[in-house]
Structure 1
Amino acid sequence: MSRMKDLAIDIMSFEADELEIDDILDLFATLIRSGMAWTLQGSYGRAAQALIDQEIISPEGEILTAMVPA
C-alpha cells in the first residue's frame, strides 16, 4: 500500500475519531513535514499550528513531547 493511501486512511480514521493520541500526533507530524497541513481544509492547519504553538510538534514536524491521556 502506498504512503499516500495510508495517509488517506489515517485522515479518515482521524475524522471518524478512531485514532489514539499517539496516532494523531504521528498524523499531524506527517502533515506538517509534508506541508499538507497547510493545504487541507482549515481545521487541519489550525490544529497543526496549535500543536506547534504548544511545542508538542516542531515546525519541522518532529514530535517533541509524548501526550498522556487524562
Structure 2
Amino acid sequence: MAREMDQYDAVMIAEGVIEVPEERYLQAWQQLHDTGLAYQLQGWFGRMAQALIQEGKING
C-alpha cells in the first residue's frame, strides 16, 4: 500500500520530478485539485487539472 502523499510529493509528481505509475500520478493531480493547490501555483497546474477533469481522468 502506498503511503499517504503530502503536498510537496504531489507537486513533485505532477512536475515529473518524482516518477510514479500513472495511477499514482493521477492521485497526485486529484489531491492538487481537491486541496485547491493546483489553482494557487503556476497557471499550468490549474490548466492541467482542468484538462484531466475534462478527460475524465480525475474528478472535478
Could you say whether these structures have the same fold, taking a TM-score greater than 0.5 normalized by the shorter chain as the test? yes
Runs of 4+ in structure 1 off by over 3 angstroms are none
Tell me the amino acid that sits aligned with residue 56 of structure 1.
Answer: K
- Tell me the TM-score normalized by structure 1: 0.64
Residue 57 of structure 1 corresponds to: 58
Once the two structures are superposed, residues 7-58 of structure 1 have per-residue CA deviations (whole angstroms, 9 ceiling, x without a partner) of 2023224421512211111011111111111111111111100011111212
Identity %: 36
Measured in 2, the distance between the counterparts of 1:28 and 1:14 equals 6
- Give the superposed CA RMSD: 2.1
Structure whose CA Rg is larger? 1
**Does 2:11 correspond to 1:7?**
no
- 3-state secondary structure, aligned to 1:23: helix
